[in-house]
Amino acid sequence: MLLSLIIFSSCITDQKKFNGQIITEFPTPIELKGDRVFEDELGLISIKVIDSLTVISTMKKDIIKVYDSNQHLISGFGKKGRGPNEFNMSPVIQDGIKTRNFIRIFTLDQQLLTLSSIDIKTSIDSSKVSINKRYELPRELSGTIDIFYVDSTEIIGTYDDRFSKRLNKKRGGFYYHPRTDNFNTFPLFNLTMKPYEVMPATNINARSSDISPNRSKFASVMMHYPGLEIFDLNSDINDNPKRYMLDSDPPSVVYDLNTFKEDGYLAYYLDVEASDNYIYLLYLGNKLDDRAHQTYIKVLNWKGKPHKQYLIPSKYNLSMISVDEKNQYFYGLSYSNDAIYKFEYNSNE
């Protein structure tokens, strides 16, 4: 009986530890200078590079804009409203996919719990939003934050702390199966807020996620903890994830409520972008209330090996990135500047 209690206690303790391989040996940062692009766009929400196209969502009329690789406007479409093919609010572009036959983006309506697959070519030709598929998510998924299309049978996503309370604390991620309207959950690492309060506990566990273009790998990184989790989508869920600790001296996994409310904790990672070969992490390592902050783009492969590191000066105040790996450009969106910047990099330097 005593042995059983010791084993059980050990399991609980292990669940509270991140237990990730420490990855800190990134190369010396290379400082990048950027140029502001898409200067006519205001009220910027999100940006996604898909093949040779850059797709932007804004709060302006024509909510979604599509540009070519030379930043020339191809088309604008979409408006706010409650009618067919209209948006309740300006959408975040959750995902984008290119095949031989089409390019599509995916937007999530968190209020209506619908994931819309938008055909870019048809939308450009008609100057209207063309939704080729709309997925009605189960009401239990109302805490969904990020969501990604794997294939016609499977969608993967992450959810927040409020959602977890309805799912017996199986916190973190889910697979949704559109054909059967069923879903199953899997755990991601979560921090503890003491004393517990719903919104701070949700915010302390904020994370950014992305899926590789070939739909075989999934990465999730935390804002307030230097932990990266990687899933191989071709493997059994029980064999996942691989965890990497991106700081040799990480903070405690238990966070104080009052300290958090006073912005007393660091923000580590603001965004993640995935390619088939690399993971790009937008690193802050500062407090969010700092008005001007330099950021870093840390690049590592899917096996956790550091590849490159780039320094983005504080005047750009980046909040989100998208990567054009083919032409070697970073696009950085700054919410505080309401601007998008383009940075040229050389992966061979």
pLDDT grade for 79, boundaries at 50, 70 and 90:
confident
Distance between first and last Cα of the chain: 60
pLDDT grade for 19, boundaries at 50, 70 and 90:
confident
pLDDT score, position 165: 59
pLDDT score, position 330: 97
How far is it, in rounded angstroms, from Cα 20 to Cα 152?
A: 33
pLDDT score, position 236: 79
Which whole number is the average pLDDT over 192-206? 88
pLDDT digit string, tens, across residues 50-78 = 988 999 999 988 899 999 989 999 999 98
- Choose between 104 and 3: higher pLDDT: 104
- Quote the radius of gyration of the chain (alpha carbons, Å): 20
Closest C-alpha among 329, 338, 309, 334 to residue 71: 329
Closest C-alpha among 312, 216, 224, 206 to residue 263: 224
pLDDT digit string, tens, across residues 250-262 = 999 999 999 999 9
Closest C-alpha among 112, 259, 257 to residue 199: 257
How far is C-alpha 172 from the chain's CA centre?
Answer: 13
**Phi, psi (deg, nearest 5) at residue 294:** -75, 150
pLDDT score, position 164: 57
Residue 6 has pLDDT above 50, yes or no: no
DSSP 142-170: TTEEEEEEEETTEEEEEE-HHHHTTTTT-
Residue 325 has pLDDT above 70, yes or no: yes
pLDDT score, position 85: 76
pLDDT score, position 171: 66
Residue 3 has pLDDT above 60, yes or no: no
pLDDT score, position 345: 96
Which pairing describes strands 30-31 and 306-312: parallel, antiparallel, or unpaired?
A: parallel
Comparing 8-22, 29-43, 215-229, 249-263, which segment has the lowest mean pLDDT?
8-22
- For residue 119, give both structure tokens: 């055909």
Beta bridge partners of 333: 320, 340
Percent of the chain whose pLDDT exceeds 70: 91
Q: How far is CA 23 from CA 47, 226, 257, 286, 304, in A?
A: 28, 10, 29, 19, 7
Comparing 5-9, 164-168, 286-290, which segment has the lowest mean pLDDT?
5-9
- For residue 89, give both structure tokens: 């609010």
Residue 237 has pLDDT above 90, yes or no: no
pLDDT digit string, tens, across residues 150-193 = 999 999 999 886 665 555 555 689 999 999 999 988 889 988 88
pLDDT digit string, tens, across residues 21-35 = 999 999 999 999 999
Which pairing describes strands 34-37 and 44-50: parallel, antiparallel, or unpaired?
A: unpaired
Beta bridge partners of 134: 116
Which pairing describes strands 34-37 and 320-324: parallel, antiparallel, or unpaired?
A: unpaired
Q: How far is CA 201 from CA 21, 87, 264, 317, 319, in A?
A: 26, 29, 15, 26, 22
The reported pTM is 0.92
Which whole number is the average pLDDT over 107-111? 90
- Choose between 266 and 293: higher pLDDT: 266
**Phi, psi (deg, nearest 5) at residue 151:** -160, -170
pLDDT score, position 186: 87
Comparing 19-28, 283-292, 314-323, which segment has the lowest mean pLDDT?
283-292
pLDDT score, position 166: 57
- Average pLDDT, whole number, for the chain? 89
pLDDT score, position 290: 65
How far is it, in rounded angstroms, from Cα 301 to Cα 212?
A: 12
How far is it, in rounded angstroms, from Cα 138 to Cα 183?
A: 8
DSSP 183-212: EEEEE----EEES--HHHHHHHT-EEEEE-
How far is it, in rounded angstroms, from Cα 45 to Cα 119?
A: 20
Q: What count of other Cβ atoms lies within 10 Å of the Cβ of residue 60?
A: 15
pLDDT score, position 332: 98
